[in-house]
Structure 1
Amino acid sequence: MAKDPRTIRPAATFPPHVVAEIQRAADEGIYDIRGFGARRSVPSFDDLILLGASMSRYPLEGYREACGTDVVLGDRFAKTPIELKIPITIAGMSFGALGANAKEALGRGASAAGTSTTTGDGGMTPEERKSSEKLVYQLLPSRYGMNPEDLQKADAIEVVVGQGAKPGGGGMLLGLKITERVAAMRDLPEGIDQRSACRHPDWTGPDDLEIKIRELREITDWQKPIYIKVGASRPYYDTALAVKAGADVVVVDGMQGGTAATQDVFIEHVGIPTLPAVREAVRALTELGMHRKVKLIVSGGIRTGADVAKAMAMGADAVSIGVAAMIALNCNRPLYEDDYAAIGAAPGACAHCHTGRCPVGIATQDPALEKRLDPEAAGRRVANYLNVMTMEAQALARACGKSHLRNLEPEDLAALTIEAAAMAGVPLAGTGWIPGHSV
């Protein structure tokens, strides 16, 4: 007997994945925890296009005319700003969330490409410091692994106020990833689930943060640039307050940014997309007369050289990648497929960073799994990926007639959807109309 299509059609409000989650919650009585980033579709850099040169603009010849990519971060106050060959940095991912081999590989790849990598929560490992020519040390609410010696060893300090995947929330590290070494670095009991604080214990606002930043500068003799990282919720105000507190660099992380472990409801329902976050951060810096003086790094869903070029055209000085860097290491590659199946995942759709059972040896502390990741080979893949992104961005900048990536500007952009035009503050393609602006 044929099924009646009227009775088997799923409801828009309750599609199969929502039904399955309600039933799982009812069975288990605990919220869902996972890694990676948002699965929902939001307006992104894919909804913008670059306007290549033709009659009204003069393009550059890719084989004969240079297009610069260097960037200096931290020259507002720091005596020793960071000088990078490319404007693509590696975001903070902790030792604990990732294994030692993965951290070393990221350092190797970043150094080969002429850029920086970042510690993440939990402190600095010797492998990471040795392999990273430029290393940014993250200071988070947990203070895990924080000590003056490592602050002085770092090339910059990033004060993490929030993260794009979970603005207003703290990190998680489940007990099965808290090995003896991880526990010792974080001063935690081995094998016990850890949940980081959602706010710093040393301040309640920008005035207190300004005092803390001065303490950090004194500890490091004013040598190290100080970054402030915020999750994108109210980026206009957060950027302005970061400038007031004395930041050399502001890092704005959109909701497409990833995480090692947090509640699924946070990942999908808190924060705003990267696209409007860039525009609002640039607006704050411009109104304060600090655009290009306080540098802006944008993260959250950056994947290609096109994303880099578009972010910089919107006003960013650099970008940062996390999930994409993990994918370059081998994350979600179709290897060890039986191990993916064993944790209920599949290559290309795995978000089981929190379990410590990463089949390709990246997000794990299991020695047997870690051996699957060769830090030298993985570092070369990361360097290759960073170089490809840079060449893609250069090709697009030359097509727009720019001799340096930082010369890209909003006039080089148009939007393909009304939503993207409104969020990015650039005209809808083929028109001069920016939604919300008078014509």
Structure 2
Amino acid sequence: MFMNDETFFCTINVFIFVLQNVINTFTQTAKHSRCSFYGNVNVGKDVTIGELQQAYHAVILSYGAEGNRRVGVPGEDLRGVYSAKDFVGWYNGLPSCRELSPDLSCETAVILGQGNVALDVARILLSPLDALKKTDITQPALEALAESQVRKVLIVGRRGPMQIACTIKELREMVNLPGTRPEMVAADFEGVPEALKDLPRPRKRLTELLMKTAMEVPGDKELERRKNATKIWGFRFYRSPTEIFADPSHSRTASIRLAVNRLEGSGERAQAVLTGEVEDVSCGLVISSIGYKSLPIDPSVPFDSRRAIVPNSVGRVHQAAGLYCSGWLKTGPTGVIATTMNNSFDTARSLLEDVDSGTLDISTGKPGSQIVSMLLEERGVKPVTFSDWEKIDSLEMRKGEACGKPREKLLTVEEMLKVART
């Protein structure tokens, strides 16, 4: 949001998959006469934050979290170990991940982390190919998954069932995934039934579904479905990775060592404490889904490297008048779409409060997009407009329609720019 006109900066190789009504709302905004869309512009390089602040009364930073959090254990750099960010980018068509070529020739995969992204990855690894063919997954990923030998996926977390980070919707989709059956460890659920009554309703419903899946004897129909399943998935609680081991030739991942934990405290604040026990799990694929982190965008913007956020108070960037932030850049990588949406509303309210109080001075005019366009032209940067982006969108959808998919994505920035500028 800006005071004179509205300008959106994005990198063309970032794909955001959101609900259709969000897409429609964004499209309406992008087509508004007071909005200027600049794609394929690198903020901090092609144009600085300081220059944007000269052009606008207010600038909101909302560029998310594109960095990986490392596990920090020996063997993390072996072939067969990937970050969830890169793995998801690979099957979603992110140009920077198109060369990932993950090795799917093993029987067992271990995913570190138990959030929604971890479950997304598990579903991709185990979903029937016919179901994937109807999605907008990339053709190279589809071909690789067709040859995949992965038949078992373990989703590992350092804490227990009552601290699991996924939502009930994602868990339900995992539970109902065709051709699969769950395998849990009964001991991981000791004491959970007694604690249910004290849980908040959303957490209680999630835990009940988890317990039902893990511990209840299924009915005849579900029993038959599980009997015919050819693939297995399961959560492993109270486990932390300590080392990843290579095969004898040292060419690829062979196993992972997990430390066994116990919890101190209860609820969301419970902390995992090592017991001294360890167990080794044979696997040829390890995917780390322990979170993302934001990265600094410009030297002029304050940045907390430890927390990987821009220091702020309700979206107001510290010691930077007229500069605001929202989303994971503001809070760290927590919450789902609804959480982030409410978070952005809070930032917008802070901005409007500053206008009303006079803290944000809008009494003098600012040049807005005119000066930005001039700066980019002087530097030989040709931005992608929203109508240019619509050409890319239209072509991808036509290619997808031809093969029965929602879209078939272009996989390189060069291809996208060629279409945009035709």
TM-score by length of 2: 0.26
Structure with more strand by fraction: 2
TM-score by length of 1: 0.26
Larger radius of gyration: 2
